[in-house]
Amino acid sequence: MAEENLFQNVLNQLDKTAEVMKLDHNIHNILRKPQRSLEVTMPIKMDDESVNVFVGYRVQYNYTRGPCKGGVRYHPQVTFDEVKALAAMMTWKCAVSNIPYGGAKGGVICNPKQMSLGELERLTRRYTYMILPLIGPEKDIPAPDVYTDEQTMAWMMDTYSMLTGYSVPGVVTGKPLEIGGTIGRSYATGKGVTFITRRALEHNNMPIKGAKVAIQGFGKVGSYAAEFLAEKGCKIVGVTTIDGGLFNPDGLNIKNLLNHTRSKATFSDFEDKNAEYEPNLEKANKQLFSLDIDVLIPAAMENQITHKNASDIEAKIIVEGANGPTTPKADEILIDRGIFIVPDILANAGGVVVSYFEWVQSLQAFLWSERDVNVRLRDLLLKAFDEVLSIHKREKVDLRTAAYILAVKRIARAIELRGLFP
Is residue 194 domain-shared with residue 318, that is, in the same domain?
yes
> How far apart, in whole angstroms, are the C-alpha atoms of residue 288 and residue 294?
12
pLDDT at 264: 78
Question: Do 160 and 199 fall within a single domain?
Answer: no
pTM of the model: 0.94
pLDDT value at 1 more than 70: no
Does position 194 have pLDDT exceeding 90, yes or no? yes
Which pLDDT score, from 0 to 100, does residue 272 have? 85
Q: Are residues 213 and 143 in the same domain?
A: no
Is 404 part of a structural domain of the chain? Answer: no
The pLDDT, as a whole number, for residue 266 is 86
Question: Residues 215, 320: one domain?
Answer: yes
CATH number for the domain spanning 245: value is 3.40.50.720
Q: Look up residue 134 and give its amino acid.
A: L
Integer Cα distance of 10 and 92 in angstroms: 10
Q: Amino acid identity of 16?
A: K
| pLDDT tens digits, one per residue of 294-336 | 999 999 988 999 999 999 999 999 999 999 999 999 999 999 9
* Residue that is last in its domain, among 330, 347, 364: 347
Please check whether residues 207 and 123 belong to one and the same domain.
no
Catalytic residue among 69, 84, 93, 105: 105
Asked whether residue 392 carries a pLDDT value surpassing 70, the answer given is yes
Exposure letters 208-218 (e unless 16+ CB within 10 A, then b): beebbbbbbbb
The phi and psi torsions of 401 (rounded to 5 degrees) equal -65, -35
- Same structural domain for residues 83 and 201? no
Helices 370-395 and 350-364: angle between axes, nearest 10 degrees: 130
The pLDDT > 70 percentage for the chain reads 99
Q: pLDDT of 152-178, one tens digit each?
A: 999 999 999 999 999 999 999 999 999
In a domain, 392, yes or no: no
Q: Are residues 148 and 230 in the same domain?
A: no
User: Do 323 and 229 sit in the same domain of this protein?
Assistant: yes
The mean per-residue pLDDT over the stretch 205-216 comes to 97
For residue 205, what pLDDT is reported?
97
Residue 172 resides in a domain: no
What's the sign of the alpha-carbon dihedral 84, 19, 405, 323?
A: negative
Indicate if 192 and 144 belong to the same structural domain: no
Across the chain, what does the average pLDDT equal? 96
Angle between helices 350-364 and 188-203 (to 10 degrees): 130
Are residues 238 and 119 part of one domain? no
Q: What is the pLDDT of residue 385?
A: 98
Averaged pLDDT, 109-138: 97
105 carries an active-site annotation? yes
Helix (H, G, I), strand (E, B) or coil at 377: helix
Separation CA 42–CA 55 (nearest Å) = 6
Structurally, the chain folds into a number of domains equal to 2
Question: Which domain range does residue 77 map to?
Answer: 33-167
How large a percentage of the chain has pLDDT more than 90?
94
| CB-based contacts of 239, cutoff 8 Å, min separation 6 | 214, 215, 216, 218, 222, 226, 245, 246, 252, 257, 288
Query: Given this model, what pLDDT does residue 269 score?
Result: 87
- Does the pLDDT at position 35 exceed 80? yes
* Average pLDDT value for residue range 412-416: 98
pLDDT band at 3 (very low <50, low <70, confident <90, very high): low
Same domain? For 91 and 229 the reply is: no
The 10 Å CB-count burial string (b at 16+, else e) for 225-249 is: bbbbbbeeebbbbbbbbebbbbbbe
Instruction: Report, as an integer, the average pLDDT of 80-108.
Output: 97
Q: Helix axis angle, 370-395 relative to 188-203, nearest 10°?
A: 40
Q: How confident is the model at residue 17 (pLDDT cuts 50, 70, 90)?
A: very high
Task: For 221-278, write each residue's pLDDT tens digit.
Answer: 999 999 999 999 999 999 999 989 999 999 999 999 999 998 877 898 898 888 999 9
Q: What pLDDT is recorded for position 262?
A: 86
